[in-house]
Structure 1
Amino acid sequence: MRPRSVRARTTLAATSVVALALLAAGAVVVLSLWTNLRGQADDDAERTARTVAARLAAGTPYGRLDLDDDVPVVVEAANGAVVAKNEELTYVTSKFGDPAEADDLDAGETGDVTHSSGSATLDGDTGDYRFASLTVATPAEGLLTVRAGAPLATEQSAVRTALTVLLIVLPLLLGLVAGVTWLVTRRALRPVEGIRRELAAITASQNLSRRVPEPDAWDEVGRLARTTNETLAALEASVDRQRRFVADASHELRSPIASLRTQLEVAAAHPELLDLDGAVEDTVRLQHLAADLLLLARLDAGETPQRTPVDLGALAREGAQGREKVRVDTAPGVEVTGSRGQLARVLANLLDNAARHTRTTIEVTVRRDGDDAVLTVADDGPGVPDADRERIFERFVRLDDARSRDDGGAGLGLAIARDIAVRHGGTLGVLEGSVFELRLPVRG
């Protein structure tokens, strides 16, 4: 069963990696040790074989060889018959390799050495040996083959000791690695658990003003905590904005609905007192407000605007038609990409705002500034105070609280205009006085 805890999975993964690394390293160490010790045994067997061969090459008869009883030594004639061996040697078994070609050896010369593994019984004790075989040309007996062995007991003992140490040390090291990884992972994940508990508490309480604890370290966990708090702050602001929007929308809708209901109730009781024009105005105002609220809802939902070419100069000229006090100055060929209807709504809202404040003239200009298309709407009214240049783009904000709702609208026009500009990758702001500037990326 796969561990469900990140801490357990991390510990298991780290322990597994270390176990594989230690097993591989142990195998390499044991193999290297065995290879080196076997090479040493080959050298010892070769030295013994060459010593005996040197005596035979010097003319010592094989019957008078003084052979060391500590290692097995066998001398064979050309026909394979054993002509000399240790007195204590009773049994030899080995897959001896064929001796090197020695037909062209002169008297006193020896051939190349070959090595093989086998066992031998010396003085009643049987053990494993490495054998070295070589051919020597003797003056009297002709070609003789000398086979000498070197014991592998020391090598085997060393390898067994190494394996025993590995079998003891490996579990201890793995236990140490697992314990250290478990503790380190717990310490590393403690802030994550704190973040999780706080998020669970925030979810349960629905209190978005709370924040998760931020560790002092600037590591991944610290960045996660800071990003989480930034997300919570953005979510809190969004929820607060949504609540204010709903409250303001309810407030704005209440007035025309109440007025319309009053007129209808009066008309029902006294038809001669029906103010038909007032009822139509309230209905139109209610319709416009509902349309604005619907557009804001679509913008808040992240609706992507259309990607069609729009000639900003032609759009400005069309928007100014039928309006008084508006002068248009446009540069040719200033095109942007977006929704023509939404961009026309931006221009209409800016012109409506300017018309409520201008004294004599509204000037609309369209030009290109580098990679930006710039549309400005300026009026000669009193201007926007510096402190309110950002506030006027908030929803349901009217700087002149004494101004009637019929004249000032619901305070949504500039908010809608900025939202549309942002959705098109542009900006909308107040430069100075009553100059509103819309910047959009030039098409292409």
Structure 2
Amino acid sequence: MTAPTTVTTADRPLGLLRAHGAPSARVRIVAWVLLLVLGSLAVVTVVTWQLLIRATDARMDTALRTEIEEFTALTASGRSPADGAPFASVDQVLRTAITYNLARPNEKFLGYLDGVFRYQSRQQSPVLLAGDPGFARLAGSVPAPVEARYESAAGEVRYIAVPVTLAGDPARGVIVVAYFADQERSAADDAALLMVAAGAVTAVLAAVAAWLVAGRILRPVRDVADTARAITETDLSARIHAGADTRDELGALVRAVNAMLDRVEDGARAQRRFVDDAGHELRTPITIVRGHLEVVDVDDPADVRAAVTLVDDELERMNRIVSDLLVLAKAEQPEFVHPAPTDVPALLEETLRKASGLADRQWALVGAGEPLVADLDAQRVTQALLVLADNAAHHTVPGDRIVLGAAADTSTVRLRVADTGTGVAPADRERIFARFARGSGSARRSEGAGLGLAIAGAIAGAHGGHVEVSDGVGTGLPGQSGPGATFTLVLPLRADHEVP
């Protein structure tokens, strides 16, 4: 009989679903917490937004009345503030009142004479109310002060219209103070959107906290379940120890599990055969592709051999990428890279041949003519260089130059990818290597998730090196997008290889 295996909670995660497909208790706890948090945030956001809207409306109404009071005070004396002479006409009153009052953002002053538009403030507005006949009919010839609203092409307009008369002038004027309400409320809308974003972050944090707390609460049950699963997979002859007190719920669970183990022992061998077959089938697709490529028969054998070699190499590299995705977070482990003596100029030439298909750019190779051997993982370094080349392609346009090169000293080899693209701001040169980070000044966006530079940094770190960012090779010539950027893989040369 195999010795029993002790399993802790960390050995196996608690599943999201129970055996019969229903959500686990941990998931239900998180779901209820999220429901309460999201409901509360929704109520707070809506109430806050409504309060901000009401405050904005009240502020607009107060401002409208204040402006009318200022117009009245300006014209109450009957004399022009410019020269102190009496007003000669209603037209002069309108012109003076609008000229001597400065409109706020989203506010508009208009003057009408006998129902026809005459003057307006210089403040830009979303729509031209002066040319709106519907608004002119409502506000341009009112016989008494009117405070109302109007639906314009830019949304709601709140306005006050006040008639203006002058002794000795039969003309009738109207001064209108209007606010574009929807535009004035945009600050409240922005605040609501900010609250929604903050609420989303809060909900995520609450879900994480609930997940952790629920895990601690359910840990005893999880320990029993994990132990039962481990015994099922490693030693079906062993049983779970019930402990001194077997009268509680956990004791009943242990007895039920031990009885279950008696029934499932006979099916263990079939299960293992199934796992072996599944592993074999997962490898079959790649094996089939290689088998077909190896028997390709076309007119040019040399091209066939080159194509087969290239595709086979890429398939192997993709297979390793898929296999290593689970350990990218542990890139410092030795198995992440497999260094071997590598011909650096040949590696760069092969990388350039692959990278030149990424985009229509002026690809070039410099500084790689002299022999240079370094202890590198060729496939991983190729992957990192292609990531940097793809990044350069996404930040350049046709006509820009992308250069691959190499240099070495007594201890390091420097593999660089330089371009004449838009470049990287100095403030971004450390941040862009974080996962999901992008340059703040980049106008172009790649189709990736923002992990490319993080992967390149992980590959360099696994070799004991790092990635440096500096200015590119842009010189300001026509056809170049900017100064560009240079990404350099700085890798140890290894003690057993000297620079030729």
Task: Pick the TM interval, shorter chain.
Answer: 0.3 to 0.5
TM-score by length of 2: 0.33
Bigger radius of gyration among the two = 1
TM-score by length of 1: 0.36
